[in-house]
Amino acid sequence: MHQTAKTLITLGILFLLGLATDAIGRHTRLPRVTLLLIFGFLIGPTGLGFLSPSEGEWFSLVADMALVMIGFLLGEKLTVPSLRQHGRYVLWFSIAEVVGTALVVLIGLLLTGVQMGVALLLAGIATATDPAAVTDVVHETKSNGVFSRTLLGIVAVDDAWGLIVFSLMFTAVQALSGHGDSIAPLLTGAWELGGALLVGIGLGIPMAYLTGRIQPGEPTLVEALGVVFLCGGISLWLEVSFLLASMALGSVVANLARHHTRPFHAIEGIEWPFMILFFVLAGASLHAEALYQIGVVGTAYILLRIMGRLFGSWAGGTMSRADPPMRRWMGMALMPQAGVALGMALVALERRPDLGGIMLPVVIASTVVFEVIGPVLTRSALVHVGDPRSK
């Protein structure tokens, strides 16, 4: 079959699958994220082989496009009125669950007998979340209560805190091993965060005042996508966090664009097709053999991350004086973990290949587990708290 014909047929099937997952999701407890991941795994190289390795070349581009739109939409939640109302919860929950997760994983792995360097790196990696999966589950369940709005606020800033913790952990590893460039991870982390904020704010201010002038009151799809993709491209070029940059962009526009009635409507209308491709290709990239390599360290890491999420969120809820249901269920809602964690692992592997033999298989295997069960736990938390408009 001609490659172009195969590509178009594949895209058609994948987009129609998105409609099917909505229908199946209404009659099961499985979120459509999990259904798309499972489907991608079944038709991927490990399964039926319908998606060959050549289709995997799409993944990097599709993932970046999907995540930059997710970041922009998450930035909409970080407005001054929203932070006044929920900012205390977002701040305490996000800090406590990141620190709690890192401490529980670090102490638990050391007690298991894992060497200090690997334990420190895995503790830093454990703090990462999957904002795409969490956001999609919230949208799918039509959740719009205090719990879901706080949850979206947390995932909007979660990876920024996680990057800081990971940089500190990596610096500690370098210092303990006697490497001379122990300060480099801190400088890299500072540039990724600071540079991302500069890019997002620098593009957000003109976007807030200039977009929506062609068609009064609404930004057109072309200008909205143009600025969002420009933000992602510049961020990748400067090697800063494009997810954080797009969040900063969205937050600036949401706070300053007074002439827009719905400034994020254009992106919301086109986001879902990219998300379908993103999750199916993510499922196709999962490999079952990773689960066989997980061993004692991997099993301990998964259990400790779950415990750390639950403990950290409970502590954050206690300090912020949140309601008991929020303290009890927020940790479960934050279980998904995907690309950011793998990216951290690859950065660590590049500079410390001597630790990769243990660390990388654990991160890959745990990503498979948390990608599949994480969205299910997020949906379960939302339903138990009572946020979805329709159960």
Highest mean pLDDT among 32-36, 233-237, 260-264: 233-237
Number of domains in the chain: 1
* pLDDT of the residue at 203: 86
For residue 388, list its beta bridge partners. Answer: 143
Q: What is the pTM of this model?
A: 0.70
Question: Angle of helix 57-75 relative to helix 265-284, nearest 10 degrees?
Answer: 140
Is residue 178 classed as helix, strand or coil in its secondary structure? Answer: coil
> How many DSSP H helices and E strands does the chain contain?
16, 0
The string of pLDDT tens digits covering residues 148-189 is 888 888 887 777 777 778 777 877 777 776 655 556 656 666
DSSP state of 240: S
Cα 215 to Cα 219: distance, rounded to the nearest angstrom: 7
Left (φ > 0), alpha (ψ -120 to 50) or beta: where does 350 sit?
alpha
The residue assigned the tokens 């654990």 is: 362
Which pLDDT band holds residue 18 (cuts at 50, 70, 90)? low
Tens digits of residue pLDDT in 243-289: 778 888 888 887 777 655 455 555 666 666 777 777 777 777 666 66
Residue 66 within a domain: yes
**390: in domain:** no
Q: Where does the pLDDT of residue 391 fall: very low under 50, low under 70, confident under 90, or very high at 90 and above?
A: very low
Alpha-carbon torsion angle 125, 36, 249, 234, nearest 10: 80
**CATH number (domain holding residue 16):** 1.20.1530.20
Within a domain: 65: yes
Q: What is the mean pLDDT of residues 295-309?
A: 87
> Would residue 302 count as lying in a domain?
yes
> Could you tell me if residue 117 is inside a domain?
yes
For residues 228 and 268, the answer to whether their CB atoms sit within 8 Å is no
Q: Give phi and psi for 143, each to the nearest 5.
A: -80, 135
Picking from 309, 250, 29, 36, the residue whose alpha carbon sits closest to that of residue 141 is 29
In a domain, 391, yes or no: no
Identify any residues that bridge with 143 across adjacent strands, giving them in sequence order.
388
CA distance 149 to 172: 35
Task: Please check whether residue 369 lies inside any domain of the structure.
Answer: yes
Residue 52 covered by a domain = yes
| Angle 368-337-307 from CA coordinates, rounded to 5° | 100
Domain residue limits at 57: 3-385
Reduce the DSSP state of residue 216 to 3 states and report it: coil
Token output for 303:
């259990």
Please check whether residue 141 is in contact with residue 382, taking contact to mean a CB–CB distance below 8 angstroms.
Answer: yes
Q: What sign for the dihedral angle of Cα 119, 124, 127, 129? A: negative
Query: What is the C-alpha separation between 259 and 248, in angstroms, rounded?
Result: 19
Q: The tokens of 283 are what?
A: 């499922």
d(CA 337, CA 237): 25
Distance CA 275, CA 11 (A): 13
